């Protein structure tokens, strides 16, 4: 019985330490900083990850108006302003990316919650200042309540695209 207990204990400790190492590897990955190379519009931009192409990032949980007419989409109200604001926010900056459940959208863009080196939560700031609206697409719902509350505040304060 004592041998069985020791074997169980050994297996448990091995399993726990394996999970712990996996957790730390994931945490380290999320601490990687990427220089922003180009802003496409108010919710999409490119970062340099060391490859020739880079990574196209789509901000998770929010939607900004289109900044120009593309394909079948018309330029949206406050679209140019949203792109300008995001450009100023990200210019010459590095960002940290955080993913939710789904990490890619149907166009192959990386879905991310984005943070600046000073801990500014980019997705949240865009909604708070009225440059984007919430767009909750399950299963990526981690910050949906926060974004909703920020959007209510922006609308009540007539900020950005909520101006009357």
- pTM: predicted TM-score of the whole model, two decimal places: 0.78
109 has catalytic annotation: yes
Q: Within the chain, where are the H helices? A: 2-30, 79-90, 122-128, 144-156
**pLDDT by residue (tens digit) across 71-129?**
666 656 677 999 999 999 999 999 999 999 999 999 999 999 999 999 999 999 999 99
- Please provide the average confidence, as pLDDT, over all residues in the chain: 83
Quickly name the fold that domain 32-162 has: OB fold (Dihydrolipoamide Acetyltransferase, E2P) (2.40.50)
Catalytic annotation, pick one of 58, 81, 96, 129: 58
70 has catalytic annotation: no
58 has catalytic annotation: yes
Query: Residue 112 in contact with residue 60, Cβ under 8 Å?
Result: yes
pLDDT at 16 over 60: no
User: Chain centroid to CA 23: how far?
Assistant: 20
3-state secondary structure of 160: helix
Least Cα distance to 78 among 129, 21, 147 occurs for: 129
Catalytic annotation, pick one of 25, 32, 70, 109: 109
């Amino acid at each position: 019985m004592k041998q069985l207990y020791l074997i169980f204990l050994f297996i448990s400790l091995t399993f726990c330490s394996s999970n712990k190492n996996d957790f730390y590897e994931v945490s380290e990955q999320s601490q990687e900083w990427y220089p922003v190379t180009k802003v496409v519009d108010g919710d999409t931009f490119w970062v340099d990850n060391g490859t020739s192409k880079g990574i196209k990032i789509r901000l998770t949980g929010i939607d900004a108006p289109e900044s120009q007419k593309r394909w079948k989409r018309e330029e949206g109200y406050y679209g140019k302003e949203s792109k300008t604001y995001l450009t100023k926010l990200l210019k010459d900056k590095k960002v940290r990316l955080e993913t939710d459940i789904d990490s890619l959208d149907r166009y192959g863009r990386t879905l991310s919650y984005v943070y600046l080196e000073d801990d500014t939560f980019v997705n949240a700031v865009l909604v708070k200042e009225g440059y984007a609206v919430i767009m909750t697409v399950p299963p990526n719902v981690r910050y949906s309540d926060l974004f909703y509350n920020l959007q209510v505040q922006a609308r009540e304060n007539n900020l950005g695209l909520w101006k009357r």
